[in-house]
Amino acid sequence: MLSVALQVALGMVALAMALTVVRLVRGPTVADRILALDTLSINAIALLLLAGMLLQGAMLFEAALLIAMTGFVSTAALCRFLLRGDVIG
C-alpha cells in the first residue's frame, strides 16, 4: 500500500519538476528562473526522500540533507547578483 502511495507521489513530484523546468526555460524574468531553480532543488529533496523510503537507501537521505543544507547558497548568491551585482561584497 505504502509502496503504491510512494510511487504515485514520486510521479507527482516528477510532474512538479517538469513544470519547474518549463518555468525555468520560459522565464520570463530572471527572478522567475531563480525561483524555478530553487523549487527544482526542493523537489529534488522530495524525490530523494520518497525514493529513499521506497528503496530503503540511507544514502539517499544524506544526499537530500546535503542539498537542503547547501542548495540554497546558490539561490542566495543568484539573488544577490540580481539585486546588488556583487555576490560577496
Partner 1 sequence: MIAGALLFVLLAPFVGVPAVVLLQRLHRRCAAWGAAAAMAAGLAVLAPFVPRVLAGETLVARWQWLPEWGLDFALRLDGLGLLFCGLILGIGLLIVLYAAYYLPEKDRLGRFYAMLLAFAGGMLGVVLAENLLLLVVFWEVTSLSSFLLIAYKYEAREARVAARMALAVTGGGGLALLAGVLLLGQVAGSFDLSEVLARGDVVRAHPLYPVILGLVLLGAFTKSAQFPFHGWLPAAMAALTPVSAYLHSATMVKAGVFLLARLYPVLSGTEAWMVVVGGVGAVTFVYGAYVALRKDDLKGLLAYSTISHLGLVTLLFGLDTRMAAVAAVFHIINHAIFKASLFIAAGIIDHEAGTRDMRRMGGLLRLMPWTGALAIVAAGAMAGVPLLNGFLSKEMFFAETIGHPAFDGAARYLLPVLAVVGGVLSVGYSVRFVHEVFFGGAPRDLPRTPHEPPRWMRLPVDVLVALVLLVGLLPQVMVGPILLSASAAVLQGEVPAFRLAIWHGFTTPLLMSVAAMLGGLLYYRFRHVLFALHARLLPRDGGQMAFERAYRVAELAAMRAMAWLDPRSLPAYLALLVGFVLVLGVWAWRGGAPADLAGPLAWGSVDPLTGFGLLVLAVGAGGTVLLHRRPLVALMLLGVAGLMVSLGFLRFAAPDLALTQLSVEVVTVVLLLLALRYLPQVTAAESGAARRWRDAVLAGLGGLGVAALTFAMLTRPFETISGWQIAHSVPGGGGTNVVNVILVDIRGFDTMGEIAVLAMAALGLHALLQGLRLPPAAGVASAQPGEGLPVMLAMLMRPLLPLALAVSVYIFLRGHNLPGGGFIAGLVTAIALMLQYVAGGIDFARARLRWNYVKVLGAGLGVAVATGLGSWVFGRPFLTSTHGYVDPPVLEKFELASAMGFDLGVYLVVVGTVMLCLTELGAVSRSGRVGG
The binding site for partner 1 (CB under 8 A) comprises 10-11, 14, 17-18, 21, 24-25, 27, 30, 33-34, 36-37, 40-41, 44, 47-48, 51, 59-60, 62-63, 65-67, 69-71, 73-74, 76-78, 80-89
User: Which amino acid type is present at position 68?
Assistant: A
Q: Which is nearer to partner 1, 24 or 53 (CB)?
A: 24
DSSP assignments along 7-64, one per residue: HHHHHHHHHHHHHHHHHHHH-SSHHHHHHHHHHHHHHHHHHHHHHHHHHT-HHHHHHH
In the complex, what is the shortest distance from the CB of residue 7 to partner 1, in angstroms, rounded to a whole number? 9
Could you tell me the three cell numbers for 78? 543568484
Q: How far apart are CA 65 and CA 48, in angstroms?
A: 10
In the complex, what is the shortest distance from the CB of residue 3 to partner 1, in angstroms, rounded to a whole number? 14
In the complex, what is the shortest distance from the CB of residue 82 to partner 1, in angstroms, rounded to a whole number? 7
